[in-house]
């Protein structure tokens, strides 16, 4: 008798060894149709696998996250099968799952996206035939014999330590693979080839160049449609394109990976930092500033010279080694140590928007998302152990307040002690318990990433969600037990003895540059009024009105508005159209009537026009709208 225990601790009994599909069917046929694979005592495997002894079984259904990777890996096999049908004689290398899809590296004549339609037609035929994925275990010797005509597979097999090799067959196609796979090809409901590029075998330019064909797959056609929509929309919103269009920033060969911000980009930059400072002041933070370049001895003390030097820019001055800081933390440690602190002084919340430099590989650079010079909105909170929970909650509330102002949702992840770490069990227990208590008191759901913490302490990662549903890891809250020890930081406790402070590293924007790039794409360049690089543009209807229009511009600018004026001899219609293309929230038209009555004709981006607005009333309403950080375009009503 075989006893199967399910996740809810219910049991199923079978007289002979059942397959996973047998067990799933015994629950219900409808449930079995949704199953993709299973876990037997924690080991992921195919549904066709026989369960030979008592076991705990968990089924992976189409709703589970793991199922998508299984689907896409199976889809890579189907794509390779289709290409082998259409292009006989090809040699297959590897076909892994990657973020948002899969690819297969193939030794074949070049293909292009023009070939995708016929490949997809062949893929659909294979899917319709519902070939089961059949797993076999063969000896390493037999595997080498079977794949003797494929140099890439034989190379991979030769490097395996296992004497038994697993292969999968669907229809007339067999591939080397650990699995698991879908029950059959018919479970692939939506598949799309995305792009093709060249790739060297094992990323070695001395080896063969292969064709890397990318694809993606989903269990539902609606999911594929939504994914393609987001991709198309993301291309339209690409911050690099919009940054050039709206004259915000640029990059130059003279400083690779280091952005140059234009006047309009600085308007946006300053609006972000003014808001950051406003919120941090309310939350009890002080602001500090530390040098960009510091002596080697500091980086040796912090551990960066040993563990991070390859990413640091270094220089020799007066026969001493220096490094441009890749992070702000060590300078913050020196600041704390400049004077003696009492337990009554804590917590100390010290923020710094510091310029840091990291040597990223040139191939990894990507607009504002991956740069070599950027500003971290760091803060270091020095506190007593009994203050951990309250301080974490305070940071989470600050984060929620700031992100909600931009219309960004977020979720939380707690990462615990990794295998390689420093500190005692007691320290880790205290720190992790503190984070968990704070998260539970905060009251929002969170995910636990076991073993994914920093080597010096557990952390909370904050992932924001933008207008397209994409997630970005920006904010982080890290408890550090290493740097206070390395820098011998102390405060005088209530018992008049020296105590070691607990320290939090935290960022909200993360990198100001990257956060700006995210916001450009989130808003598609259509920023709310308070954030817009140019908040209003004045359009005089003829040249005679230009002097008066400049007077109005000067008056509004003196009241804090970011203004522009279009003095070109173009038609009013064309000026309005270009202002709309440039996503300027307020378009102010001035004619003779407006000059005589000291009023404005106000057009918003939603097309609404309000005539005869008194200038004083306009200024009062607009300043209130900006002060409240509102995101709507209802400028003259609450």
Residue 65 sits at φ, ψ, to 5 deg, of -60, -40
| Angle, helix 65-86 to helix 116-128, in steps of 10 degrees | 110
Q: How far apart are the first and last CA of the chain?
A: 72
User: Is 359 one of the catalytic residues?
Assistant: no
Residue 452 confidence class, pLDDT cut points 50, 70, 90: confident
**Equal fold, 68-222 vs 249-290+326-523:** no
- The CATH class of 536-627 is alpha beta
Closest CA to 180 of 327, 79, 43: 43
pLDDT in tens, 534-555: 999 999 999 999 999 999 999 9
Query: Among the options 304, 329, 341, 564, which is catalytic?
Result: 329
Peptide bond into 180 cis (omega under 30): yes
CA distance 121 to 125: 6
What gap in Å lies between CA 505 and CA 342, rounded to an integer? 21
Closest listed residue to residue 202, CA positions, set 159, 141, 162: 159
Fold category of 68-222 in CATH: 3.30.980
List the domain boundaries for the chain. Answer: 2-61, 68-222, 249-290+326-523, 292-324, 536-627
What is the tens place of the pLDDT at every residue in 194-226?
A: 999 999 999 898 999 999 999 999 999 999 999
- DSSP 8-state code for residue 342: B
Read off the DSSP letter of residue 370. Answer: B
pLDDT tens-digit map of 587-599: 999 999 999 999 9
How far apart CA 502 and CA 504 sit, in angstroms, is 7
The span from the CA of 396 to the CA of 390, in Å, is 10
User: Which residue from 438, 444, 355 is spatially nearest to 395, judged by alpha carbons?
Assistant: 438
pLDDT tens track for 567-585 = 998 899 999 999 999 999 9
Residues with Cβ within 8 Å of residue 374, at least 6 apart in sequence: 355, 356, 511, 512, 513, 514
Burial letters 437-458, b for 16+ CB under 10 A, else e: ebbeebeeebeeeeeebbebbb
DSSP type of residue 543 = G
Catalytic residue selected from 212, 380, 514, 625: 380
Identify whether 380 is a catalytic site residue: yes
Write the pLDDT tens digit of every residue in 12-71: 999 999 999 999 999 999 999 999 999 999 999 999 999 999 999 999 999 998 999 999
The CATH superfamily holding the domain 249-290+326-523 is Bira Bifunctional Protein; Domain 2 (3.30.930.10)
Residue 179, helix vs strand vs coil? coil
Cα–Cα distance for residue pair 333/342, rounded to 1 Å: 16
Residue 253: DSSP 8-state:
T
Residue 638 in this model has a pLDDT that exceeds 50? no
Q: Which is the catalytic residue, given 135, 153, 181, 459?
A: 459
Phi, psi of 451 (to 5 degrees): 75, 15
- Has domain 2-61 been given CATH number 3.40.50.720? no
Beta pairing class for 459-465 and 409-415: antiparallel
pLDDT, tens only, 480-507: 878 898 899 999 999 999 999 999 999 9
Alpha carbons 354 and 349: distance in angstroms, whole number: 15
C-alpha–C-alpha distance, residues 215 and 120, integer Å? 10
Residue 358 annotated in active site:
yes
Query: Nearest 5°: CA angle at 466, between 460 and 469?
Result: 100
C-alpha separations of 289 from 332, 338, 350, 379 in Å: 9, 14, 10, 11
* Chain length of the chain: 638
Peptide bond before residue 62 is cis, with ω within 30 degrees of 0: no
For range 347-351, the mean pLDDT? 97
Measured N-to-C along each axis, helices 425-442 and 388-405 cross at an angle, to the nearest 10 degrees, of 50
Catalytic position from the list 378, 480, 564, 566: 378
Give the pLDDT band (50/70/90) at residue 637: low
Instruction: Kindly report, residue by residue over 224-247, the tens digit of the pLDDT.
Output: 999 999 999 999 999 999 999 999
- Looking at the DSSP assignment, which residues form a beta bridge with residue 376? 354, 511
pLDDT the model gives residue 574: 94
Q: Which distant-in-sequence residues (6+ apart) come within 8 Å of 40 by Cβ?
A: 20, 49, 51, 55, 56, 57
Q: What six digits make up the tokens of 6?
A: 């399910």
Catalytic hit among 73, 192, 212, 358: 358
Active site residue 177: no
Cβ atoms 57, 21 nearer than 8 A: no
Per-residue tokens: 358: 């990291």
What's the pLDDT tens digit per position in 117-154?
999 999 999 999 999 999 999 999 999 999 999 999 99
DSSP letter, residue 454: B
Q: Point out the catalytic residue in the list 505, 522, 562, 603.
A: 505
Residue 387 CB neighbours (<10 A): 19
Asked if 632 is an active-site residue, the reply is no
Please determine, for residue 512, whether its predicted confidence score (pLDDT) is greater than 90: yes
């Amino acid at each position: 008798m075989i006893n199967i225990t399910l996740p809810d601790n219910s049991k199923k009994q079978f007289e002979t060894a059942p397959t996973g599909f047998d067990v799933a069917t015994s629950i219900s046929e409808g449930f079995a149709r949704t199953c993709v694979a299973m876990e037997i005592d924690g080991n992921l495997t195919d549904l066709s696998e026989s369960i030979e002894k008592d076991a705990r079984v968990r089924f992976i259904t189409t709703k589970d996250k793991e199922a998508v990777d299984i689907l896409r890996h199976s889809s890579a096999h189907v794509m390779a099968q289709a290409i082998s049908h259409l292009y006989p004689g090809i040699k297959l290398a590897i076909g892994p799952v990657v973020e948002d899809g899969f690819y297969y590296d193939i030794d074949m004549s070049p293909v292009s996206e023009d070939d995708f339609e016929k490949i997809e037609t062949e893929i659909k035929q294979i899917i319709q035939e519902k070939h089961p994925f059949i797993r076999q275990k063969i000896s390493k010797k037999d595997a080498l014999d079977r794949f003797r005509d494929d140099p890439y597979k034989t190379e991979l097999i030769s490097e395996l330590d296992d004497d038994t090799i697993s292969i999968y067959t669907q229809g007339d196609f067999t591939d080397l693979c650990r699995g698991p796979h879908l029950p059959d090809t018919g479970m692939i409901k939506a598949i799309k080839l995305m792009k093709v590029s060249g790739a060297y075998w094992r990323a070695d330019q001395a080896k063969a160049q292969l064709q890397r064909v990318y694809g993606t797959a989903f269990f539902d056609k609606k999911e594929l449609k939504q994914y393609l929509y987001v991709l198309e929309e993301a291309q339209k919103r690409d911050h690099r394109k919009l940054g050039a269009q709206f004259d915000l920033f640029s990059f130059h060969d003279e400083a690779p990976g280091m952005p140059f911000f234009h006047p309009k980009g600085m308007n946006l930059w300053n609006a972000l930092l003014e808001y950051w400072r406003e919120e941090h002041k309310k939350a009890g933070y002080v602001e500090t500033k530390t040098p960009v370049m510091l002596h080697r001895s500091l980086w040796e003390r912090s551990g960066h010279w040993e563990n991070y030097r390859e990413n640091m820019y270094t220089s020799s001055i007066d026969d001493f080694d220096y490094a441009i800081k890749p992070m702000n933390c060590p300078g913050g440690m020196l600041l704390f140590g400049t004077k003696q602190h009492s337990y009554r002084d804590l917590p100390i919340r010290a923020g710094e928007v510091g310029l840091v430099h990291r040597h990223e590989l040139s191939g990894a650079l990507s607009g504002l998302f991956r740069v070599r010079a950027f500003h971290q909105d760091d803060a270091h909170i020095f506190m007593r152990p009994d203050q951990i929970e309250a301080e974490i909650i305070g940071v989470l509330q600050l984060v929620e307040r700031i992100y909600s102002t931009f219309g960004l949702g977020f979720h939380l992840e707690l990462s615990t002690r990794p295998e390689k770490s420093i500190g005692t069990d007691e320290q880790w227990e205290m720190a992790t318990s503190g984070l968990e208590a704070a998260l539970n008191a905060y009251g929002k759901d969170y995910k636990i990433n076991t073993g994914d913490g920093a080597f010096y302490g557990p952390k909370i990662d904050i992932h924001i969600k933008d207008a397209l549903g994409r997630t970005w890891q920006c904010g982080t809250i890290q408890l550090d037990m290493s740097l206070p020890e390395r820098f011998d930081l102390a405060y005088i406790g209530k018992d008049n003895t020296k105590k070691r402070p607990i320290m939090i590293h935290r960022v909200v924007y993360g990198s100001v540059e990257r956060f700006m790039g995210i916001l450009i794409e989130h808003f598609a360049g259509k920023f709310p009024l308070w954030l817009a690089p140019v908040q209003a543009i004045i359009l005089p209807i003829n040249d005679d009105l230009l002097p008066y229009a400049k007077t109005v511009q000067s008056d509004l600018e003196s009241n804090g508005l970011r203004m522009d004026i279009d003095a070109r001899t173009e038609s009013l219609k064309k000026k309005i159209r270009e202002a709309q293309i440039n996503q300027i929230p307020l378009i102010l038209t001035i004619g003779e009537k407006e000059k005589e009555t000291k009023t404005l004709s106000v057009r918003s981006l939603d097309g609404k026009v309000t005539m005869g607005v008194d200038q004083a009333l306009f200024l009062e309403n607009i300043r209130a709208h900006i002060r409240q950080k509102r995101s709507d375009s209802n400028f003259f009503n609450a």
